[in-house]
Amino acid sequence: MTVPALHVPVMLRRCLDLLAPALAAPGAVVVDATLGLGGHSEALLTTFPAARLVGVDRDPAALRLAGERLAPFGDRATLVHAVYDELPDVLDGLGIPRADGILFDLGVSSMQLDEADRGFAYARDAPLDMRMNQGTGISAAEVLNTYPPGELVRILRSYGEEKFARKIVDSVVREREKEPFTNSARLVELIRAALPQAAKRTGGNPSKRTFQALRIEVNRELAVLERAIPAAVAALPVGGRIAVLSYQSLEDRVVKQVLAAGAATTAPPGLPVVPERYQPRLKLLTRGAELPGEQEIAENRRAAPARLRGAERLREDVTAGNRR
């Protein structure tokens, strides 16, 4: 298995362009908060030869492979085993006060999709695991086999936007009483059988939404993201930049809300002059969410659902006499 064959970084040139103004100075620090197989990180280190990179990932296998890929850059690359909402602790532990550029490439990585034993892909039979760090937490099989029916319905509706959550969960509950779920193929067959014919004719693989919902629950992805994006914004100095790639509407909504709130004034209405403390902290660098081009999608089908947003830090926070 060669890393380049597994990983084609999504919207790479646009990510580099968005972060470039913040990474030109010698000694600039860029964080790849979702290191994966290191494709974005390799390009960042190559494009900005005076920058230092901190790569963060919760998956030990990804860290090992990315470490091999980034070894030629020596001590310019520091890789840390952590979840991306732990970014403040990571930077503190390295003695780095601020990160000039921060990149998030959210969702499941190419390696996790391509390794059959991880259970992320519904197109092949595999153990129902879906943990990004297999050394901690509960698996997707445990979720299916132990969660109360109402909780499973909530997860499928909230995280998978699955209209037929109740039908699927009713089938899951009947089947798990006969035999616990262990592998993905059985779940895929159950979903196909539970859905009405009309629902199976549109929207791609009918298992997609359920698998997405289980993955988000297993890895607590949205809760982590809701902490991570504000923490990343807080870690930027004035002039620092953040770029975030999302792959489904729930992720993109969280990113949009945090960045939009930072780019809005907090002044009470009617003030003739807006004091600095009410001025926007962020400037949005993208008009809405930018999409990959047709050529990139043709060359890399995994880029198709990508949505890219970026922002620049305009000012420090001023609260209770403290500046951040």
Binding site for S-adenosyl-L-methionine, residues?
Answer: 38-40, 57, 84, 105, 112
Tell me the Ramachandran region of residue 203: left when phi exceeds 0, alpha when psi lies from -120 to 50, beta otherwise.
Answer: left
Distance of alpha carbon 173 from the chain centroid: 30
Q: How many CA atoms lie within 13 A of 158 on its CB side?
A: 14
Letter string b/e over residues 27-66, b meaning 16 or more CB atoms within 10 A of that residue's CB: ebbbbbbbbbbbbbbbbbbebbeebbbbbbbbbebbbebb
Tokens of 232: 């990343």
- Per the annotation, binding residues are 38-40, 57, 84, 105, 112
User: Per-residue DSSP letters for 250-266?
Assistant: HHHHHHHHHHHHHTS--
- Measured CA to CA, the distance from residue 120 to residue 132 in angstroms comes to 9
- Measured CA to CA, the distance from residue 186 to residue 127 in angstroms comes to 10
